[in-house]
Amino acid sequence: MSGRVLIVAGSDSGGGAGIQADIKTVTALGGYAMTAVTAVTVQNTNGVSAVHEIPDNIVSAQIASVLPDLGADVVKTGMLSSVSIIEAVGNALNEYGPNIPRVVDPVMRAKGGHALLAADAAQALVERLVKGAAVVTPNLPEAEVLTGREIQTVGQMEAAADALRSLGAHAVLLKGGHLEGAHLVDLLITATDMIRFEDQRIDTQSTHGTGCTLASAIATGLAMGHPLEESVARARAYVRKAIETAPGLGHGHGPLNHGHTVVSFPHA
């Protein structure tokens, strides 16, 4: 294990989420980031205004190019946009990295509401990438789509554990960022345990890309050989400090400070 993470996700021109957040996170945590870009989004802190999908064969070719050459310790997937891109990614990973652990962030919508996954693609995502993944990291609306259950309270989060496990990943991190209230709960559900991570919610607008950042931080921990629970704990601490030290940019949901682990360049 040497911290190599292949990120399969979309570009966020605003730099706060997607591929940009993923690369910054992996780098800031000492890993090595590679990418297969699935889509280019036209996006700032106010939301997504356009999406250009990358052709399926170019998505799979990026995976086919980097895996045999540089190799990867973990693959992290984010925005996949369509059934055909999911199929292309699934096929390329089967061929070039069938045994590489996957962190699957089942991205469906941007924070502003814009769809990032076709309505008919959830089933393909489960069949091709969630099944067998090391961990899948749904937020509450995504978990509702994936299980067909209402999940609006911590009790309902816990009650959905079996349905989430039956999606076929080795573990599920159900993120509670979308719950109301000052208290924040994420649940890590494994074959044997249900582990609660709890915090006070930070009262801030700077939450653009929290999900991408968390999943990439988990992927980096796993790629460096840390166990899952420890990788999740470290990733949550990294995201929390990145929110706390956010630069306050933009007029909408602002980006995090991904570079809080990096020493600033001294001024001359």
* Active-site amino acid positions: 175, 207, 209-212
Total residues contacting Mg ion (rule CB under 5 A)? 1
What does 221 interact with, of ligand ATP, Mg ion, none (CB < 5 to 8 A by kind)? none
| Window 201-240: residues binding Mg ion (CB under 5 A) | 211
Q: What 8-state DSSP symbol labels residue 119?
A: T
Residues 6+ apart with CB under 8 A from 219: 5, 7, 26, 31, 74, 75, 76, 103
C-beta of 45 vs 60, nearer to ligand ATP: 45
Provide the pairing of β-strand 102-104 with 135-136. parallel
In whole angstroms, give the CA distance from residue 138 to residue 187. 10
Least separation, in Å, of the C-beta of 106 and ligand ATP? 9
Least separation, in Å, of the C-beta of 107 and ligand ATP? 6
CB 77, CB 9: distance < 8 Å:
yes
C-beta of 66 vs 235, nearer to Mg ion: 235
Least separation, in Å, of the C-beta of 212 and ligand ATP? 6
Question: Whose CA is closest to 104, among 83, 141, 75, 145?
Answer: 75
CA dihedral 40, 44, 46, 50 (to 10 degrees): -30
What does 102 interact with, of Mg ion, ligand ATP, none (CB < 5 to 8 A by kind)? none
Hey, what are 249's tokens?
A: 């940019």
CB 12, CB 5: distance < 8 Å:
no
Residues that bind ligand ATP (CB under 6 A): 17, 111, 139, 175-178, 184, 186, 199, 201-202, 204, 207, 209-212, 214, 236, 239-240, 243
- DSSP calls for 191-254: SS-EEEEEEEPP--S--TTHHHHHHHHHHHHHHTT--HHHHHHHHHHHHHHHHHT----SSSSP
Residue nearest to Mg ion (CB): 211
C-beta of 43 vs 60, nearer to ligand ATP: 43
C-beta of 65 vs 261, nearer to ligand ATP: 261
C-beta of 46 vs 65, nearer to ligand ATP: 46
What does 236 interact with, of Mg ion, ligand ATP, none (CB < 5 to 8 A by kind)? ligand ATP
What does 177 interact with, of ligand ATP, Mg ion, none (CB < 5 to 8 A by kind)? ligand ATP
Least separation, in Å, of the C-beta of 105 and Mg ion? 6
In the complex, the residues that contact Mg ion under the rule CB under 5 A are 211
